[in-house]
């Protein structure tokens, strides 16, 4: 049959076969004619992987610099165990590479590279695709969406990197250089990633996104917005000299009541960094790490310490909302301006200044370093503690390493001291005071009440602590155990 209709039918079949052949899975040739991904003769079978179900496979080849010359979409890219020489897959200027399924699987045992060298180009991961353990450098736009994962990839971001729609940074190592940004939104999470942001990189969490359990270090700015969550992330911020937009943790744009993060820290080797609370509360400590923050926490908001770790505040913080210590240790070696509330399970330590009032609701106050170094903790306002054993009984722990100045902890209250609860003398470094030796441990403008003494008898029952209260100070004195009659032996339950 040689009619125009038959000729048209044969032409249509040829066109369909060609179209199917052009979009199919294939393996990169041992000796391709060029480095162009989008040339069919460079693949076996002779077809370009460029479709939502296509898999591009790379084994051993003598051409390992592969360049994408038109917009390309694949389900996945596989580097086999035979790919023993490293590949670099490059997305050319203004083009888009989209991975819509399995993503990148590298079974070669060596690093395989994906490179986006132009700010107008894009690498898009969607439909649960993973970056695997690839090494990715991007100067353009990189997006993980629809439950995708950055896997365990090593990523250098010099453009814009976005996680959205339930995506995760996985356990990736991300280095983000200026000028760049990283954005988490729409229930995405930083997962267990390590994220290091240099220079003026901007990192933001918005909508219902989460910082997860990530380790985040930033010389730029970190912002929590909307209903985002810092979860148990470790946040380390630095500030560069004469760079006011760096070294910032900003929660001012977050919805009330505020944000929880795992831990907060910076380095004294840099200019003091800043936490901006606005009117919000920052809750710190859920990852139970011991950290030190040398910078300034500012705003009318509040601070809450949770977890079992220690947060040391070395800087002159100016926030005016309450400080609540619900767990672990908050050690103030600098200063805070707020009223401070110790709840059961929480400890306030330090050799700095709390400019407001301290209310001890069943926690512990340790002037000096909580690890066992005496110091002077100054209270700019009043100190009050509860005596009720049902409420837990607030404790003041006095560390004594000797009789010289600086070897005895001192609680220096510039207002009134309301002295319920318990006094806990703690001897350090094997020091045992002699009978008649005295230690001034508490100063005040006025006082009311008395301490019960926790474990008042010591030195194998031969000695006992006695407290005397003067007009402006209280003194611990060592007496013979048998010489003190009628002093109650109190201890918190």
Residue 2 has pLDDT above 70, yes or no: no
Tally Cβ neighbours within 10 Å of residue 166: 17
User: DSSP label at 471?
Assistant: S
Answer whether the bond into residue 179 is a cis peptide, omega within 30°: yes
What span, in angstroms and rounded, lies between the C-alpha atoms of 341 and 346?
9
Whether residue 169 contacts residue 152, with contact meaning beta carbons closer than 8 Å, is answered with: no
Q: Taking CA 470 as the corner, what is the angle to CA 475 and CA 405, rounded to the nearest 5 degrees?
A: 40
Q: Give me 14's structure tokens.
A: 């040829």
Q: Give me 349's structure tokens.
A: 């330590």
Give mean pLDDT, residues 367-378: 96
User: What's the pLDDT score for residue 249?
Assistant: 95
The string of DSSP letters for 82-133 reads T--S--EEEEPTT-EEEEEEEEEEE-SSS--EEEE--TT-EEEE-TT-B-TT
Whether residue 482 contacts residue 488, with contact meaning beta carbons closer than 8 Å, is answered with: no
Whether residue 75 contacts residue 99, with contact meaning beta carbons closer than 8 Å, is answered with: yes
Give mean pLDDT, residues 445-451: 96
Q: Residue 136: name the closest of 164, 103, 185, 166 by CA.
A: 103
User: What's the pLDDT score for residue 243?
Assistant: 53
Whether residue 113 contacts residue 138, with contact meaning beta carbons closer than 8 Å, is answered with: no
Residue 235 has pLDDT above 80, yes or no: yes
pLDDT grade, residue 100 (50/70/90)?
very high
Residue 381 has pLDDT above 90, yes or no: yes
Beta-carbon contacts of residue 208 (< 8 Å; ≥ 6 apart): 186, 187, 226, 227, 228, 229
Give mean pLDDT, residues 306-330: 97
Name which residue leads in pLDDT, 341 or 15. Answer: 341
What span, in angstroms and rounded, lies between the C-alpha atoms of 16 and 177?
47
Give mean pLDDT, residues 255-277: 90
What span, in angstroms and rounded, lies between the C-alpha atoms of 253 and 6?
69
pTM over 0.85: yes
Q: Residue 367: name the closest of 318, 315, 439, 298 by CA.
A: 439
What span, in angstroms and rounded, lies between the C-alpha atoms of 367 and 408?
9
Give mean pLDDT, residues 40-55: 97
User: What's the pLDDT score for residue 387?
Assistant: 53
Q: Taking CA 173 as the corner, what is the angle to CA 186 and CA 285, rounded to the nearest 5 degrees?
A: 70
Q: Residue 124: name the closest of 160, 87, 96, 90 by CA.
A: 96
pLDDT grade, residue 210 (50/70/90)?
very high
Q: Residue 207: name the closest of 143, 162, 262, 237 by CA.
A: 162
Name which residue leads in pLDDT, 392 or 367. Answer: 367
What span, in angstroms and rounded, lies between the C-alpha atoms of 394 and 412?
17
Sign of CA dihedral 361, 362, 367, 368: negative
Strands (E) located in 30-86: 43-44, 55-58, 65-68, 72-79
User: What's the pLDDT score for residue 10?
Assistant: 39
Lowest-pLDDT choice from 6-10, 39-43, 85-89, 364-368: 6-10
Residue 219 has pLDDT above 90, yes or no: no
User: What's the pLDDT score for residue 22?
Assistant: 44
Give mean pLDDT, residues 441-454: 96
Question: 483-491, long-range: CB within 8 Å, 24+ apart, which pairs?
Answer: 487/453, 487/456, 488/452, 489/453, 489/456, 489/457, 490/393, 490/422, 490/452, 490/453, 490/454, 491/422, 491/454, 491/455
Give mean pLDDT, residues 175-191: 94
Q: Residue 264: name the closest of 208, 328, 178 by CA.
A: 328
User: What's the pLDDT score for residue 141?
Assistant: 97
């Amino acid at each position: 049959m040689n009619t125009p209709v038959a000729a048209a039918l044969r032409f249509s079949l040829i066109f369909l076969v060609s179209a199917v052949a052009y979009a199919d899975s294939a393996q990169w040739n041992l000796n391709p004619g060029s480095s162009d991904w989008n040339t069919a003769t460079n693949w076996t079978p002779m077809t370009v992987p460029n479709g939502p179900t296509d898999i591009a496979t790379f084994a051993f080849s003598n051409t390992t610099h592969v360049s994408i010359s038109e917009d390309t979409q694949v389900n996945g890219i596989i580097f086999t165990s035979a790919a023993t020489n490293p590949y670099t897959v490059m997305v050319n200027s203004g083009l888009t590479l989209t991975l819509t399924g399995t993503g990148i699987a590298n079974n070669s045992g060596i690093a395989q590279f994906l490179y986006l060298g132009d700010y107008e180009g894009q690498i898009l991961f969607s439909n649960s695709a993973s970056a695997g353990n690839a090494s990715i450098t991007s100067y353009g736009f990189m997006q993980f969406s629809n439950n995708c994962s950055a896997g365990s990839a090593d990523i250098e971001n010099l453009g814009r990197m976005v996680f959205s729609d339930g995506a995760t940074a996985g356990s990736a190592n991300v280095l983000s250089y200026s000028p760049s940004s990283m954005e988490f939104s729409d229930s995405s999470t930083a997962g267990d990633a390590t994220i290091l942001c240099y220079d003026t990189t901007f990192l933001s969490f918005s909508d219902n996104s989460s910082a997860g359990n990530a380790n985040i270090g930033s010389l730029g700015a970190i912002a929590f917005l909307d209903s985002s969550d810092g979860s148990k992330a470790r946040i380390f911020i630095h500030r560069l000299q004469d760079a006011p937009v760096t070294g910032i943790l900003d929660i001012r744009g977050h919805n009330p009541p505020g944000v929880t993060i795992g831990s907060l820290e910076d380095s004294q080797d840099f200019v003091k960094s800043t936490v901006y609370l606005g009117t919000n509360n920052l809750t710190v400590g859920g990852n139970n790490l011991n950290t030190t923050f040398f910078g300034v926490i500012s705003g009318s908001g509040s601070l809450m310490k949770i977890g079992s770790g220690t947060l040391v505040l070395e800087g002159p913080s100016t926030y005016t909302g309450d400080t609540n210590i619900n767990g672990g240790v908050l050690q103030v070696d600098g200063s805070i301006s707020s009223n401070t509330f110790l709840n059961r399970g929480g400890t306030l330590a330090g050799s700095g200044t709390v400019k407001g009032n301290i209310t001890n609701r069943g926690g512990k106050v340790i002037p000096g370093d909580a690890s066992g170094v005496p110091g002077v903790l100054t209270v700019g306002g009043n100190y009050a503690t509860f005596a009720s054993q049902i409420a837990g009984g607030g404790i003041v722990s006095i560390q004594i390493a000797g009789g010289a100045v600086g070897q005895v902890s001192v609680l220096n209250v510039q207002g009134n001291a309301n002295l319920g609860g318990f006094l806990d003398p703690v001897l350090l470094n094997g020091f045992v005071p002699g009978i008649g030796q005295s230690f001034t441990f508490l100063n005040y403008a006025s006082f009311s009440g008395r301490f019960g003494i926790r474990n008042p008898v010591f030195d194998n029952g031969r000695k006992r602590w006695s407290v005397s209260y003067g007009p402006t100070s209280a003194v611990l004195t060592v007496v013979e155990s048998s010489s003190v009659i009628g002093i109650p032996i109190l201890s918190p339950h």
